[in-house]
A and B are shown apart, each in its own frame.
Chain A
Amino acid sequence: MAIIEVAGLVKHYGDHTVLNGVSFTVDQGEIFGILGPNGAGKTTTVECIEGLRVPDAGSVRVCDIDPRRDDDELRQLLGAQLQTSALPDKLTVREALELYSSFYRDPADWRELIEVLRLTDKADAQFRRLSGGQQQRLSIALALLGAPRVAVLDELTTGLDPQARRDTWDLIERIRDRGVTILMVTHFMAEAERLCDRLAVIDSGRVVALDTPAGLVARVDGEQRIRFRPSAPLDPAALTVAPEVTTAMSAGEQLVVTGVGNLLLAVTTVLSQHHVVAEDLRVEQTSLDDAFVALTGRSIES
């Protein structure tokens, strides 16, 4: 059942079209990712969902509520963590949580929430004294304090070190396990691949693909590539007898073999027939990165 429905969103800033017919639905209980390069329209899309921006055309419904019509009710059901927002420097974690608790009709227990978020020992620390990861966890706590049905997380892990990022991923999965539907914006492929049940790839204001991470990878050429150093000289042509092998060629001391299906088994079978061992063997498969490049024609970092 769809909990967020976005249909035909169009948004212009002056002459610049930021969103050009963005449509997707998010099902209850899933982690849905919006993936795209900087300037693709990701944040504008979620701002329309959060009711912060009014689209020039199209419609948004969250929990069957139109953000433009029933803003007050939406705020009770949707928690949002913004891409760029900070708390006043001297506000403590406890004060921020108590303040936010007062905003909601039926708030979650903030003491329990900060225990889950491992902030209990920082309850009396001022915002400016928190590390980047702790500040992010606090922003998640604030987004969840109203016990929302939907949480929108915008570039949550940007600026975090790898360990803090992995910790945050674990946390997001635990939040989903509590029954919260999560809509997250990211430009980290690994994050999208690890967390998201489904992804909308947005580029230049359009949804260019909408699928599971595995589905997106499968859409592009499923070719695999194997590199290895043969223990004895071997004519690359010997490998092409296997039907899984598409090409085989020498690259210095290495052989590079491309193909489909169970390529690794096919290659190692041929090698054993020639009494050759594959040393320094590496298997390269199509990644979400490759899928993104194939779908958008450019790298996400461009």
Chain B
Amino acid sequence: MSTAVLQRVSLGRVLRAEIADELRGIVREPTALFFSILMPVGFFALFVSIFGDLTDGTMPAGTRMVATFGTFGVLAATMLNPGIGIAQDREIGWLRAKRVSAVPVLITLLCKVVAALCYAIAMLVAMAVTAGLTGSLEATAGQLLRLAVVLLLGAAPFALLGIAIGLQAGSNATAAILNAVLMPSAVVSGLWMPLEILPDFFGHIAQFLPTYHLSQLAIAQLDGGPVLGHALVMLGSTAALAAAAALSYRHARP
């Protein structure tokens, strides 16, 4: 068997083992699971049961909430889990031990994000089922699938932000910083409550936040709204945060 073939086999095995390890690690930390998975689904269930039947003329609020709460949930999972996980691994020296093993550290970081995406998918399914059970879901399977794909792809810049912070700060500081970014962004972007019922300046600030643009892209999968402007903002954010993550990686303590 040639070296190239051996290396290909090895990469597939590494990815499977690393992702399985990350998934196991998330399940074994119930606190992290609570904040990143159960809390968004719980909030969603509460709000959709109260406001799910209201409508703005295009779709029931419960359907729109799958997009907005889904945005929040996917971001919480893909930003907090990899970011805090990386910081914890750095603190105990586990990431350093991986660096002197044969696994490329970038693979380890990527697998942390992929594992978080698995939980994000489970959360989106739970939200759609909850909306369906309350009778406020009016979307085709195709629309929901597109929405999920958009949110999972759109999570990239936020995962990169989590990695950038996790490579520099301790685990507690990483959790604090990322929550300090996520929570206000979620409120101001209208992920929990529609911007229409919030003060006008929230809407003005939201235009500058990738969280808002991702939620608008998600909603567009349900109501057919415009996507180009939002997609460009997301691409720009991804490029900027990829550069920040690369810089953070280069300056991280070996």
Contact = CB atoms under 8 A, between A and B. Distances in A.
Contacts of B94: 85-88
B96 A85 contact: yes
Contacts of A102: 10, 13-14, 16-18, 103
A76 B10 CA distance: 12
B10 A105 contact: yes
Interface string A85-125: 11110110001001111111110000000000000000000
A80 B93 CA distance: 13
Interface residues of B, number: 27
A214 interface: no
Contacts of B92: 85-88
A176 interface: no
Interface in B188-244: none
A68 to B, nearest CB: 13
Interface in B145-174: none
B132 interface: no
A124 to B, nearest CB: 14
B96 A82 contact: yes
Contact of A82 (B17, B100, B102): B100
Contact of B6 (A52, A85, A105): A105
B25 interface: yes
A104 B102 contact: yes
A100 B101 contact: yes
Contact of B254 (A53, A86, A106, A146): A53
Interface string B22-63: 001100100000000000000000000000000000000000
A142 B97 contact: yes
B116 to A, nearest CB: 16
A84 interface: yes
Interface in A62-91: 72, 75-76, 78, 80, 82, 84-88, 90-91
A100 B7 CA distance: 15
A82 B13 contact: no
A95 B24 contact: yes
Interface in A114-144: 139, 142
Contacts of B14: 102-103
Nearest to B1: A105
A99 B18 contact: yes
A104 B18 contact: no
A47 interface: yes
B93 A142 contact: no
A180 to B, nearest CB: 16
A203 interface: no
B251 to A, nearest CB: 13
